[in-house]
C-alpha cells in the first residue's frame, strides 16, 4: 500500500488566524453570555478545542459539551440518515448554544442537531463550521460562522478523517491519491 499524497489546502497558520477571527465574530454576534459550545464528534473536536481557547482570548468563557452524530460512516459516502450516538449531558434550556463542527456539506447532520437543540429550549442556536462545502447542500441550513468556503475536494486533517486516518494532521489537506 503506497502512502497517499496529501496536498496542504489550509496551513496550520492560516487556520489559527481564521479561528482567532471567528472567535471575535462569535463574541460580537452576541453569543457571549451563558454560552454552551456543543462540539460535534468526532470531526469537530480539534476545531472546537482551538475555538474555545480563541474564545477565551476574545473574552468569552463558554461551557463545553459533546455530541456524536452519525452521518458518514467508515467510508466517504453519506448514509443519508442521522442518529444521535452520544447525547449532551447539559440542559440547553434558555442558553446560547453554539454547535461546532468540521464541515457543512449536505447539511443533514447539522440541520438535525440545530432543530433538536432548539426544540429542547435553547434561547439561540448558532452554527460554527470550519469548512463550508456548499456544492452538495440538501438541507436548508447555512453556517452562522464559517472558517473557509472549501472547494469540492475530500479533505483530511485537523480532526477530519478518511477511513479513521489523518485526524492528527495539524493542517487541512486534500488527498490526491488514496490506495
Ligand atoms: P453533512 O453536512 O450532513 O453532509 O455532513 C458533513 C460531515 O461529513 C462532516 O461533518 C464530516 O464529518 C463529513 N465530511 C464531509 N466532507 C468530508 C471531507 O471532505 N472529509 C472528511 N469528512 C467529510
Ligand atoms: Mg462530522
pLDDT digit string, tens, across residues 3-19: 889 999 999 999 999 99
Cα–Cα dist 141/111, whole Å:
6
Residue 173 CA to chain centroid, in angstroms?
A: 16
pLDDT of residue 74: 44
Q: Residue 154 has which C-alpha cell?
A: 475530500
Least confident of 68-72, 130-134, 175-179: 175-179
| Ligand sitting nearest the alpha carbon of 132 | 1
Q: Which residues contact 77 (CB under 8 A, 6 or more apart)?
A: none
Order of all β-strands in the sheet with 124-132: 78-86, 63-72, 35-41, 96-104, 124-132, 145-149
pLDDT of residue 29: 97
Within 6 A (CB) of ligand 1 lie: 43, 71-72, 78, 101-110, 154-156, 160
**How much is the average pLDDT of 158-168?**
96
Determine which residue's CA is closest to atom 14 belonging to ligand 1.
103
Q: Which residues contact 164 (CB under 8 A, 6 or more apart)?
A: 74
Residue pLDDT, tens place only, 108-160: 999 999 999 999 999 999 999 999 999 999 999 999 999 999 999 999 999 99
Confidence bin at 80 (pLDDT 50/70/90): low
Q: Ligand 1: which of 43, 108, 156, 173 to mutate, judged by most atoms within 8 Å of the beta carbon?
A: 43
Cα–Cα dist 21/128, whole Å:
12
Task: Tell me if residue 137 falls in helix, strand or coil.
Answer: coil
Least confident of 35-39, 91-95, 101-105, 174-178: 174-178
CA atoms within 13 A on the CB side of 76: 10
Cα–Cα dist 118/124, whole Å:
7
| Ligand sitting nearest the alpha carbon of 74 | 1
pLDDT of residue 5: 93
Rounded to 5°, the CA angle 18-24-30 comes to: 135
Amino acid at each position: 500500500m503506497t502512502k497517499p499524497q496529501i496536498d496542504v489546502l489550509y496551513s496550520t497558520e492560516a487556520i489559527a488566524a481564521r479561528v482567532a477571527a471567528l472567535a471575535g465574530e462569535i463574541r460580537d454576534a452576541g453569543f457571549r453570555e451563558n454560552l454552551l459550545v456543543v462540539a460535534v464528534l468526532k470531526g469537530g473536536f480539534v476545531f472546537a478545542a482551538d475555538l474555545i481557547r480563541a474564545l477565551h482570548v476574545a473574552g468569552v468563557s463558554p461551557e463545553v459539551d459533546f455530541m456524536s452524530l452519525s452521518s458518514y460512516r467508515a467510508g466517504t459516502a453519506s448514509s443519508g440518515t442521522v442518529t444521535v450516538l452520544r447525547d449532551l449531558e447539559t440542559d440547553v434550556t434558555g442558553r446560547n448554544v453554539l454547535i461546532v463542527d468540521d464541515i457543512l456539506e449536505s447539511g443533514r447532520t447539522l440541520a438535525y442537531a440545530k432543530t433538536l437543540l432548539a426544540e429542547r429550549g435553547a434561547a439561540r442556536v448558532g452554527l460554527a463550521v470550519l469548512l463550508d462545502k456548499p456544492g452538495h447542500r440538501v438541507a436548508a441550513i447555512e453556517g452562522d460562522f464559517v472558517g473557509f468556503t472549501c472547494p469540492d475536494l475530500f479533505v483530511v486533517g485537523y480532526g477530519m478523517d478518511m477511513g479513521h486516518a489523518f485526524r492528527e494532521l495539524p493542517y487541512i489537506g486534500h488527498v490526491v491519491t488514496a490506495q
